[in-house]
A and B are shown apart, each in its own frame.
Chain A
Amino acid sequence: MLSSAEKPDAPGNGAGTPGRPFRTPFQEFRRRFGRNKLAVAGLAVILVYILVALMADVFYPRDFITGNQIPNAFAGIGSRAEVEWRDAREGHLYILGADNFGRDVLGRIIHGARVSMIIGFVTVAFAVLLGGSLGAAAGYYGGFLETLIMRGADILLAIPNILFALAIVAALGPSFQNLLLAISITSIPVYVRLVRASVLTVKDQEFVEAARAIGARDFRIVLLHVLPNCMAPVIVQATLGIAQSILSATFLSFLGLGIQPPSPEWGNMLSEARPYIISAPHTLVFPGLAIMTVILAYNLIGDGLRDALDPKLKR
């Protein structure tokens, strides 16, 4: 039992109401996110993919990148066959069948997951950091700087994302780094706009004024007082942004501008399997399913985060 001196009743702000256990903001967030079963399922799917991507070499240590096994081409789902491995022959179970070069489809999907996860995280991290700082500067300082940054973002937004990424990769040449760069740059303007809008609403609040009144520097105010209060929409957007980035990467790879075969990537797997869609559908269906489940999972998490972080939907 808490005495009133220790736990004052706070009318109006909902906290400390008698009979209701107090939760820290993080506990509250976890509780609300946990209630959204679809979002939790999405999170589970992503965790599985991340685990698989991390342990790709444990599950499929063999070379599924270049190790052509022509005799096993289009081996069916669950078929057993002999594969050649460093001048030795051994039995192998094709759980999801083999592609046109006799390479294990599941193995390539698992190794491809690695690429997709890296692309998702790296591009979004880059875009959030760069776009976020630009947006924060624009929102906080305003004036000419804001005009400059926002019109720059508008110009980027005016060019279709995928076309712009295409142009960058085409200009710089297809490679993993250039793919990351192209996708990062195209996702920057969203975060610039988002962070600027949040900063504009937060910077006029009294606690920011109070921070200024205690003599804090602008840098400290933005970093400690303004930005942490802008994070909720950015987290949601970043989650959805990861899905967007993975999709862009697979699309570019499908067009032959991203990860180059024989390196496994879901997009180029689709592209390679395209001629065999009728004769060997498993070479196309499973990479497609992988893309679909990952994108769906990220979107579900994004929706769950939006609901959990939105104070207006508090129940």
Chain B
Amino acid sequence: MKRNQLVIQDLRVDYVTEDETVHAVNGVSFELAEGESLGIVGETGAGKTTTALAILGLLPRPTGRVSSGSILFYDRDLVQAPEETMREIRGNEISMIFQDPMTSLNPIFTVGDQIAEVIEVHNQVSREESRKRAGDMLELVGIPRGRMGEFPHQFSGGMKQRVVIAMALACNPRLLLADEPTTALDVTIQAQVLRMMRSLKEKFNTSLVMISHDLGVVAQICDKAAIMYAGSILEFGGLRDVFARPLHPYTEGLFNSIPRLDLDRERLAPIGGLMPDPSRLPPGCVFHPRCPYAEEVCRRRTPASTVVGERRVMCLMYEGVMENTMRRTHG
């Protein structure tokens, strides 16, 4: 069995302001083995990005803080780690790709210099050596070495995202956090970038946490899927299992809201309602106000994470508290 690289246990992150406390992440647990890739899927505001920022220790100060739980990266707890250690880990062992390639490059430096900077920050290398390696990285992501001296605004969106990926992979990290890396790109470029990420990931045996609201993107690149909602992972398991047969009503709702070519439907079937305000989460199951299967008990009792086969689900239907009406409708 593969060694677990990243183990997150009961992670809770709050944003504390003078007026209110926003519970952005409420008891998230997952594990990731070396070389594996996990897709975290959820709506805007579900706490996906916050989880990633917590892993890197980059929660906005002073409002954001980890209130409990642990993030073990090769058995080191990143929550407790001092800033100095985190700085060595960032970019070197864990890298992050940000959502918008348009703004995640510094407009006044050449792309070559920006890739070289990552190498210089973490390695004692000469200027020529780091520039040479920056050129290698650019070629790796399919951009000719000759364009190293150009500025970000001379690149198209897809190429910028490739530069960002080159930066993230420059120090050959063991874990890559990708925060909606393709959201700002159009569909054809999206496919290109995803293909490239997948091949690079396999080449370097890098683990990947892919954050996305797009089930299709996750399907293309991930082995595992975590469905996140209002700061909790409602369903976690192998990608094929989750996609083939959703166990949680929310997962099912997500799939129902995707337009499909093989079914003749007049309208999409979105999940009714909105995600709850994370500063005022509903009692009981966080999803119950929107859940088509919800019963009286859902309002009172908070579901625990229940193991079903190789998956974990947070729903009372699997705790024997209520009848599993979902299974019945699916036949």
Chain A residues in the interface with B (C-beta under 8 A):
5-6, 8-16, 22, 24-25, 143, 205-207, 209-217, 220, 224-225, 228-229
Contact = CB atoms under 8 A, between A and B. Distances in A.
A10 B156 contact: yes
B108 A215 contact: no
Nearest to A9: B156
Given A10-B155, A22-B154, 13 more contacts: A6-B147, A8-B156, A9-B156, A25-B151, A206-B99, A207-B105, A210-B96, A210-B164, A210-B167, A212-B90, A213-B90, A214-B167, A229-B106
Given A209-B58, A215-B121, A10 B157 contact: yes
Contacts of B108: 25, 228-229
B117 A214 contact: yes
B239 interface: no
Contacts of B106: 207, 211, 224-225, 229
A224 B116 CA distance: 13
Contact of A16 (B87, B89, B107, B154): B154
Contacts, number: 87
A210 B98 contact: yes
Most buried by A among B104, B106, B144: B106
A94 to B, nearest CB: 52
A143 B157 CA distance: 36
A209 B61 CA distance: 12
B294 interface: no
Contacts of A24: 151
B122 A215 contact: yes
A61 B91 CA distance: 62
Given A9-B156, A16-B154, A217 B87 contact: yes
B202 interface: no
9 contacts: A143-B62, A206-B104, A207-B107, A209-B104, A212-B58, A214-B90, A215-B89, A215-B121, A229-B107
B88 interface: yes
B117 A206 contact: no
Interface in B151-174: 151, 153-157, 159, 164, 167
A191 to B, nearest CB: 20
Contacts of B159: 8
A220 B114 CA distance: 13
A220 B164 CA distance: 19
A209 B156 contact: no
B91 A10 contact: no
A12 B185 CA distance: 12
A272 to B, nearest CB: 49
Nearest to A217: B87
Given A10-B153, A10-B157, A214-B91, A207 B58 contact: no
B100 interface: yes
Nearest to B88: A215
A205 B107 CA distance: 11
Contact of B91 (A6, A13, A25, A213): A213
Interface centre among A6, A10, A207 (most CB of B within 10 A): A207
Task: Find the residue from B88, B92, B100, B154 having the highest chain A CB count within 10 A.
Answer: B154
A8 B155 contact: yes
A216 B157 CA distance: 25
A224 B154 CA distance: 20
A229 B151 CA distance: 14
B118 interface: yes
B121 A216 contact: yes
A217 B88 CA distance: 10
**4 A-B pairs with least C-beta separation:** A214-B91, A215-B90, A215-B91, A206-B103
Interface in B47-95: 56, 58, 62, 86-92, 95
B102 interface: yes
B87 A215 contact: yes
B153 A15 contact: yes
Contacts of B154: 10, 15-16, 22
Interface in B102-143: 102-109, 117-118, 121-122
